[in-house]
A and B are shown apart, each in its own frame.
Chain A
Amino acid sequence: MKTIWKQFSVLPSFSLTLGFTIFYLSLFVLLPLSAVFLKTATMDWGALWVTVTDPRVLASYKLSFGASCVAALINMVFGLLIAWVLVRYSFPGKRIIDGLVDLPFALPTAVAGIALTAIYSENGIIGHYLQLFGIKVAFTPFGIIVALTFIGLPFVVRTVQPILEDLDAHVEEAAASLGATGWQTFRRVILPELYPALLTGFALAFARALGEYGSVVFISGNMPMYTEITPLLIMSKLEQFDYAGATALAAVMLLASFVLLLFINLIQWRTGRRYAAKG
């Protein structure tokens, strides 16, 4: 480590690139985001507190955080499964499936929302059958979870996949030779290695789902206290020309996202250190 550190300074352009990075970051991200806090600051603390703790707003936090969490959990389980299948097995159409995983990144969210609503509403292809069992998806919190699962799927797959690829197969083989069953090997040997990546993927999917608007408004039904997400409340505050109120909610969501992301980066930093210590 010591030698590497010394040699770092050999390379040029640190100040140039870092300077540009910070400049560009400030211009396009920090400065615009600061506007949210400046506008929020025009409210006094009492009004701010009332706005962000209104019962309807609280219900929307619960829904936004709850649905995002469930969707991210679903993605964690199935994302791991898909990553596992893609890395460990070969089967026809594997390349197509692998490519398809990124679809939610590329498909406009509004299109995804409309398509999902068409599928899961009572007269849709799937909603029609679910209806027979008395299950309603579109226009209920389930619908929101469906949309958010769609949005967040690539995050888990794409963070777990490379780690799984790098995992040494010998360790598993060794475990198997010691008489461990497949499940034991998976739980005791593989899963611990994947935890950081899984957590990162989870947190990314969670953070992305929190703010999602375009796809959710189509499928959620927007019922106050029931299926009204926080971004929608921000929108409806804007409709009433209540900019300060809108930015107050925006600030709450921004802080939540920031904390989440910081948390991810700390996990990555820690695992990075652990590996370094091992090496």
Chain B
Amino acid sequence: MQRLREGNKGKRNGLLYGLVFSMMAALTLGGCSGSSKETGTAAEAGISAKEAVQILNVSYDPTRELYQEYDKAFSAYWKKKTGQTVNIKQSHGGSGKQARAVIDGLEADVVTLALAYDIDAIQSKGLIKENWQKILPSNSSPYTSTIVFLVRKGNPKGIKDWDDLIKPGVSIITPNPKTSGGARWNYLAAWGYALKKQGGDENKAKEFVTKIIKNVPVLDSGARGATTTFVERGIGDVLITWENDALLAVNKLGKGNFEIVNPSLSILAEPPVAVVDKVVDKRGTREISEEYLKYLYSEEGQEIAAKNYYRPESKTVAAKYGKQFPKINMFTIDELFGGWNQAQKAHFSDGGVFDQIYKP
């Protein structure tokens, strides 16, 4: 039997090699023909000027409600202005994940992300013009937000400011800064507060932030997950979060069960927007995409932003919603950290300060 097997094996091996080679050839062919079949669906998204146009806005998690409303308003406005029907598609997810998808080929006409660093990452691959943040007013951020605290009704732990967060026994919920853009704002807000208070002593700031992080029992991968953990699972005494998400939670999620606490000092969070030049030039959607972002600065756009708890850029709309947005002293990321690139490198990259805090 052994010999029989050997004999057959030789023959079969030859066969195998032949197969492997033909397979390699077929592979490349198959790969092409298989995929070109799908061109039809992709091309359908292509645009001709008179017909209905479709654009894709790739955004981050907490803007769902905002853009749901804004897309409707913009469609109506565009129809009235040009007679063209526009169909706006939305994609939401963690800011970093979304930026990566755009880099990897998700054909977004516009990106509306949580932080400039993520749009810079797209820019560094040549998809967006270098001066993108100067194109629209206010650093291309049509709305802003800040970082506040959400506490349970009656504020049982008496949280008033950042200093209360480092007390032992206070349980804090914040997402993981490595995977969540919102969490990076949280972290930098705490750092900035400590830095200002300690007169610029980086070591003391690190100590302060370390103490805060030691009080965190759960690091969700995204801001929305953190809110769910706090609100639905009932874990933690205080949630550090976007002001807009905190307002949403207070007004919609668990009415009457939560309160917002504004710290004495926080960070000015500027979620920027940009047209993805390479995509709009390819798809011929530049005009509408630019208008889509510009209209965010219009009275109507600002009103929608304010209604969805984002601080509007326009003074008049801001005055109208003044009650909703109390005055909080804010610093910017450029002021204290020298911009996103530096902040990212120092704090959140592998081996950065955040990792050091978790070093055993």
| Physical contact A–B (CB less than 8 Å) | yes
- B22 contacts across to A, CB distance below 8 A: 19
Assembled-state Cα–Cα distance A236/B183 (Å): 13
Knowing A222-B220, A240-B96, say if A15 contacts B19 (CB, 8 Å): yes
Q: Which of B96, B221, B360 is within 8 Å of A55, CB to CB?
A: B360
Tell me if B179 and A239 are in contact (CB < 8 A): yes
- B350 contacts across to A, CB distance below 8 A: 54, 237, 240, 242, 245
Knowing A238-B100, A239-B94, A241-B103, say if A223 contacts B219 (CB, 8 Å): yes
Tell me if B20 and A22 are in contact (CB < 8 A): yes
Knowing A22-B19, A224-B219, A245-B350, say if A5 contacts B360 (CB, 8 Å): no
Residues of A146-182 whose CB lies within 8 A of B: none
Residues of A103-128 whose CB lies within 8 A of B: 117-118, 121-124
Tell whether A66 is near chain B: CB-to-CB under 8 Å: no
Tell whether A31 is near chain B: CB-to-CB under 8 Å: yes
Knowing A121-B233, A121-B235, A221-B219, say if A27 contacts B27 (CB, 8 Å): yes
Tell me if B178 and A240 are in contact (CB < 8 A): yes
Tell me if A222 and B103 are in contact (CB < 8 A): no
Knowing A5-B4, A239-B179, say if A26 contacts B27 (CB, 8 Å): yes
- B221 contacts across to A, CB distance below 8 A: 217, 222, 232, 235
CB distance from A220 to the nearest CB of B (A): 9
Tell me if B19 and A31 are in contact (CB < 8 A): no
Knowing A19-B23, A23-B23, A236-B178, say if A5 contacts B348 (CB, 8 Å): no
Tell whether B234 is near chain A: CB-to-CB under 8 Å: yes
B interface: dominant SS: helix
CB distance from B186 to the nearest CB of A (A): 15
Tell whether A139 is near chain B: CB-to-CB under 8 Å: yes
Interface residues as binary, B326-360 with A (CB distance below 8 Å gives 1, 0 otherwise): 00000000000000000000001110000100111
Tell me if B348 and A240 are in contact (CB < 8 A): yes
Tell whether B39 is near chain A: CB-to-CB under 8 Å: no
Tell me if B23 and A222 are in contact (CB < 8 A): no
Q: Which of A18, A27, A54 is within 8 Å of B19, CB to CB?
A: A18
Tell whether B206 is near chain A: CB-to-CB under 8 Å: no
Interface residues as binary, A237-279 with B (CB distance below 8 Å gives 1, 0 otherwise): 1111110010000000000000000000000000000000000
Interface residues on B, range: 35 or more
Tell me if B5 and A5 are in contact (CB < 8 A): yes
Knowing A19-B19, A240-B350, say if A5 contacts B97 (CB, 8 Å): no
Tell me if B360 and A225 are in contact (CB < 8 A): yes
Tell me if B8 and A9 are in contact (CB < 8 A): yes
Assembled-state Cα–Cα distance A117/B27 (Å): 44
Tell whether A2 is near chain B: CB-to-CB under 8 Å: yes
Interface residues as binary, B200-219 with A (CB distance below 8 Å gives 1, 0 otherwise): 00000000000000001111
Tell me if A122 and B179 are in contact (CB < 8 A): no
- B121 contacts across to A, CB distance below 8 A: 241
- B233 contacts across to A, CB distance below 8 A: 117-118, 121-124, 138
Residues of A47-79 whose CB lies within 8 A of B: 54-56, 59
Assembled-state Cα–Cα distance A55/B348 (Å): 16
Tell whether B227 is near chain A: CB-to-CB under 8 Å: no
Tell whether A132 is near chain B: CB-to-CB under 8 Å: no
Tell whether B30 is near chain A: CB-to-CB under 8 Å: yes
Interface residues as binary, B91-103 with A (CB distance below 8 Å gives 1, 0 otherwise): 0001011011001
Assembled-state Cα–Cα distance A218/B233 (Å): 11
- A31 contacts across to B, CB distance below 8 A: 27
Tell whether B43 is near chain A: CB-to-CB under 8 Å: no
Assembled-state Cα–Cα distance A139/B236 (Å): 12
Assembled-state Cα–Cα distance A245/B350 (Å): 10
- A121 contacts across to B, CB distance below 8 A: 233-235
Assembled-state Cα–Cα distance A111/B349 (Å): 31
Q: Which of A5, A22, A54 is within 8 Å of B23, CB to CB?
A: A22
- A19 contacts across to B, CB distance below 8 A: 19, 22-23
CB distance from A77 to the nearest CB of B (A): 30
Assembled-state Cα–Cα distance A59/B94 (Å): 25
Tell whether A11 is near chain B: CB-to-CB under 8 Å: no
Q: Which of A23, A122, A225, A241 is within 8 Å of B234, CB to CB?
A: A122
Tell me if A27 and B30 are in contact (CB < 8 A): yes
Assembled-state Cα–Cα distance A26/B31 (Å): 12
Tell whether A1 is near chain B: CB-to-CB under 8 Å: yes
Residues of A209-228 whose CB lies within 8 A of B: 217-218, 221-225
Tell me if B19 and A240 are in contact (CB < 8 A): no
By beta carbon, the residue of chain B nearest A9 is B8
Tell me if B359 and A239 are in contact (CB < 8 A): no
Tell me if A139 and B235 are in contact (CB < 8 A): yes
Assembled-state Cα–Cα distance A250/B94 (Å): 21
Tell whether A95 is near chain B: CB-to-CB under 8 Å: no
Assembled-state Cα–Cα distance A232/B232 (Å): 23
Assembled-state Cα–Cα distance A217/B217 (Å): 14
Tell whether A88 is near chain B: CB-to-CB under 8 Å: no
CB distance from A230 to the nearest CB of B (A): 14
CB distance from A225 to the nearest CB of B (A): 5
Residues of B156-190 whose CB lies within 8 A of A: 176, 178-179
CB distance from A50 to the nearest CB of B (A): 9
CB distance from B184 to the nearest CB of A (A): 11
Residue contacts A-B, CB under 8 angstroms, 12 given = A2-B1, A56-B355, A59-B360, A121-B233, A139-B218, A218-B225, A222-B179, A222-B219, A224-B358, A225-B358, A239-B96, A239-B97
Footprint of A on B, CB under 8 Å? 1, 4-5, 8, 15-16, 19-20, 22-23, 26-27, 30-31, 94, 96-97, 99-100, 103, 121, 176, 178-179, 216-221, 225, 232-235, 348-350, 355, 358-360
Q: Considering the complex of A and B, which 6 residue pairs feature the smallest CB-CB distances, nearest first?
A: A239-B96, A221-B218, A224-B358, A236-B178, A123-B234, A19-B19
